[in-house]
A and B are shown apart, each in its own frame.
Chain A
Amino acid sequence: MSDSFANAALAERQALRARLRAAGQTFVADADFASRQSALAGHLMSVIEQLCPDRLGVYWAVQSEFDAAAWCVRDSSLEDMPLALPFSFRDSVRMDYRHWNRLPPPLRDECGIAACEGPVVVPDVVLVPCLGYTASGLRLGHGGGYFDRWLAAHPHVTAVGVGWSVCELKDAELRPQPHDMAMACVVNEHGVR
């Protein structure tokens, strides 16, 4: 009985993910995308400035995600900011951050995402890509649980969600799970949610 409930919930989440992926792709294909992208970048840089991290964890964008790594490398206000990129391990599902020297990533992690070779570090502020999110800071990822696990193991780190406005959900739509923890804030192209 409880199994069928769990399966139904899982199927519902997968359907939600598919819907959000489609919404993200339509959004990225829109003619206004360039201006929306730079709008999000502007809000995000302002948030980073207010948080003044010692080290910022960025991410390598996949699919229709905001390209945080590229914008952070390009931004002159972050010139001296030490950066880090995630590296995901598939065998024992886990993720580390590695110091990133800002050069094009030379390798891929076990999920096939561009990654780097630097030593393992713990950033104090991390940008987290959101397939979906709520205004209260809850997040729906791709389902791998990599960020969830890393954040749960590093509760003092400030997580800043990054997503497009079309990916914002109501709490009832997201149906938070017991392990879901709210991020400090979420930034979309209109500003801080």
Chain B
Amino acid sequence: MSDMFSREPTDEERAALRAKLLAARQALPDRLERAVELQNVLRVWLVSRKETAIGGYWPIKGEFDPLPALYRWSEAADERRIGLPVADRIARTLKFHVWFPGCPMEPDAYDIPKPKDTAVFEPQMVLLPCIGYGPEGVRMGYGGGFYDRTVAALKPRPYVVGLSYSNGFLPMLRARSPDELVLDALLTDDGVVWQR
């Protein structure tokens, strides 16, 4: 295990690491306090952003819930819109649908709740959950590549912001290919830990 932190992990090690980080996140004894901290960090950080359309996500598996801060942000100006990703199982990409509190939801192709019959929009900023993160915006996701393909297809490329609890830091994690999605900013319960 200690070896994994002194060099780049192999695919098998990545899978093991992912499982371990997921379990650790769900077992975090202070997840609630961390969530409150990260909610504050996100709320403050969003104030000075100029984007008007942000794609968030519906939290699963102990992920941080960005929707309270996001909704608060969206209330401040009429033109601001927020939404949630809906997975396309065939193209293996995401489309963003407008969301609001109380919005009718239905399960998507992966059983994650998605907004029912709301407008599709192209986000200028995408908030995405990270299982782990390395230096300089390198991200460990679930390994499906959904966000990599989605962000690559959006023109102009949206500003990509990772959200993670600070225990997900992996000092030796590196991008595996030049095409891999690298974050423009990373926010944790400790604050803005990376911004391009």
Contact = CB atoms under 8 A, between A and B. Distances in A.
Interface residues of A, number: 11
Most chain A beta-carbon contacts within 10 A, residue among B45, B47, B72, B76 = B47
B76 A50 contact: yes
A61 B73 CA distance: 28
Contact of B76 (A46, A158, A184, A193): A46
Contact of A185 (B48, B72, B73, B75): B48
A185 B47 contact: yes
A52 interface: yes
B32 interface: no
- Classify the secondary structure of B's interface with A: helix
A180 interface: no
B19 interface: no
Contacts of B44: 51, 158, 184-185
Given A51-B43, A52-B72, A46 B48 contact: no
Contacts of A49: 75-76
Contacts of A151: none
A190 to B, nearest CB: 12
A47 interface: yes
A46 B77 contact: yes
B46 interface: yes
26 contacts: A46-B76, A46-B77, A47-B47, A49-B75, A49-B76, A50-B43, A50-B47, A50-B72, A50-B73, A50-B75, A50-B76, A51-B44, A51-B47, A52-B43, A52-B72, A158-B40, A158-B44, A184-B45, A184-B47, A184-B48, A185-B44, A185-B47, A185-B48, A192-B47, A192-B48, A193-B48
Given A49-B76, A50-B47, A184-B48, 11 more contacts: A46-B76, A50-B46, A50-B76, A51-B43, A51-B44, A52-B43, A52-B72, A158-B44, A185-B44, A185-B48, A192-B47
Interface of B: 40, 43-48, 72-73, 75-77
